[in-house]
Structure 1
Amino acid sequence: MVNDNKKDLDDWYKQQVQVQNTHVTQNTQALTSGQAELATFRQQIQTLEADYNALYGSLAALQNALDNTEGRYDKELHRLFGSIAHLEGELGSLRNSLKGQTEEYQSLLNLKMKLEAEIRDYKTLLEGGSRNLVSGSGKSSGGSSMTITTSTIEREVAT
């Protein structure tokens, strides 16, 4: 019986050692797997941090380029608004000048028409007609009119 007990105890002990060895092996495998997974995660973290830093640097460079571009466009826009204001001023001056020239042209055209009418009247007088002529048009700014009465005098020349 002692031998049986000893044998049972040895079997139980071996079985417990084998169970513990199995647990140790499983735990070792799990630990190794966990360490490998941890190393993989650390490597992924380093890769992601490197990507993040690269993207952050690119973002800063792009932001700087955007700021520079906005600055240039603001300057160009300011210059163009200045040019527009200058051209609008010139356009106003040209309009005023054109208005003055138009008024002067209209005045000269009215004077020309009066003079042509007067020339026609004098031409008629010189051709020897005896008529009453009325000169002037309703468009004159002074509103004056003139009546000319002529008579024809004939002379005989003795030879």
Structure 2
Amino acid sequence: MKTVYSLAGSKSISLSHCHLPKWCFRILSLMKEADRAALARLELEKKVEALLDEIAFLRRVHDEEVAELQAELQDAQVQPLDVSKPDLTAALKEIRMQYEVLSARNQQSAEEWYKSKFANFTEEAARSNDSIRQAKEEITEYRRQLQARNIEIESLKSANESLERQLQEAEERSNTEIQNLHETINQLENALRTTKGEMARHLREYQDLLNVKMALDIEIAAYR
């Protein structure tokens, strides 16, 4: 297996060199979750920036409209009024007041709506940051445990290699002793064969001497 995954600012992990696949899979899963949370946070930040730009644009448009209406009202106020129409000024004031109330109400409603949206996006971004921080903490803990297990595995490997060396040395000593015993046995067998040969030769010589003695005894007896 050659799965390799990495988180921004952290080392990559390869399952082909992992001694504990279960933990490595967990670390990869946490890394993927952290990446997804980071992407979600970036998307939220982009949305917040877009909303802020939209708010600024709407405020500019609103300010321009208010300025235009105020200019029109001022132009209307400075025009000479016919004495036969005394209610025109009051009507303009009432229209202006109604517009200002409506404009303030719309502006307040828009600001509240955008503030609510901004607060929601801020909360989602905070949750994403918490998820990323938690994932990084879990990854750090799993890496610490993985490092401890790797150290333990290396220690066991060293102990196993030491035992294998001792076993090999014992086998070599045993083989040397067995070879020495075989050589000793061969020497003893050769010595035994030599001894048997000498004994057989001595027996033949003794038998020859015995035959000579018997012949002499017979000859001596004949002379008597």
Residue-by-residue CA offset, 1:9-46 (whole Å, 9 max, x unaligned): 11111111111111111111111111100000000011
What residue in structure 2 maps to residue 128 of structure 1? none
Paired amino acid for 2:182: L
Q: Which amino acid aligns with 1:32?
A: E
State how many pairs are aligned. 119
Q: TM-score, normalised to structure 2's length?
A: 0.44
1:79-113: per-residue Cα shift (whole Å, max 9, x none)? 12111111112123323444555677678889999
Match of 1:16 in 2: 121
Is 1:86–2:152 an aligned residue pair? no
Within the candidate set 46, 50, 59, 2:164 is matched to 59
* 1:74 counterpart = 2:176: no
User: What is the alpha-carbon distance in structure 2 between the residues aligned to residue 18 and residue 106 of structure 1?
Assistant: 129
Confirm or deny that 1:47 pairs with 2:152.
yes
Instruction: Give 1 or 2: higher helix fraction.
Output: 2
Looking at structure 2, the residues matched to 98 and 5 of structure 1 have their Cα atoms a distance apart, in angstroms, of 135
Secondary structure in 2 matching 1:83: helix
Q: 2 CA distance for matches of 1:76 and 1:63?
A: 20
Which residue of 23, 28, 38 maps to 2:133? 28
Letter in 1 for 2:200: R
Report % sequence identity.
Answer: 10
Aligned-partner residue type, residue 90 of structure 1: T
- Choose 1 or 2 for highest CA Rg: 1
Question: In the TM superposition, what whole-angstrom CA distance separates every residue of 1:56-99 from its partner, at most 9, and x where no partner exists?
Answer: 12222222222222222212221121111111121233234445
2:169 is matched by which residue type in structure 1? N
Q: Which moved more, 1:92-101 or 1:36-45?
A: 92-101
Equivalent position SS for 1:6: helix
In structure 1, runs of 5+ residues without a counterpart are: 114-159
Over aligned residue pairs, what C-alpha RMSD do you find?
A: 3.0
Q: Which amino acid aligns with 1:24?
A: N
Structure 2 residues without counterparts, runs of 5 or longer: 1-105, 219-224
Mapped to 1, the partners of 2:187 and 2:143 lie a distance apart of 64
Q: Which deviates the most, 34-43 or 14-23? A: 14-23
Amino acid of the residue matched to residue 190 of structure 2?
A
**What is the TM-score of this pair, normalised by structure 1?**
0.60
- Aligned partner letter, 2:107: V
Cα distance change of structure 1 residues 104 and 12 upon mapping to structure 2, 3 Å threshold = same
